[in-house]
Amino acid sequence: MVSRLKQLRLDLGESQRQVGEQLGIDPNNLSRYELEKNQPDKETWIVLADYYNVSLDYLMGRTDE
């Protein structure tokens, strides 16, 4: 199963490097987040939700809306 973070990034057709550069997040960290090996801190969750224009609940898998 593809993580929501990865699916959202792929839907935009962007690489981890592109997203990382735009958000100031190390692409290696994005990879770990997408593989669910690490969890972003609260501020990073918010940045990612804003970037992908989704709710935190959606991004964290608490809702499908």
Total domain count, the chain: 1
**Residue 65: which pLDDT band, with cuts at 50, 70 and 90?**
confident
- Give the mean model confidence (pLDDT) for residues 38-62: 95
Q: For position 41, which CATH number holds?
A: 1.10.260.40
The pTM assigned to this predicted structure is: 0.92
Please check whether residue 64 lies inside any domain of the structure.
Answer: no
Residue 65, domain member (yes or no): no
Residue at 19: amino acid letter: V
| Arithmetic mean of pLDDT, 56-64 | 92
How confident is the model over 8-42, as pLDDT tens digits? 999 999 999 999 999 999 999 999 999 999 999 99
Full residue range of the structural domain in which residue 30 is found? 4-59
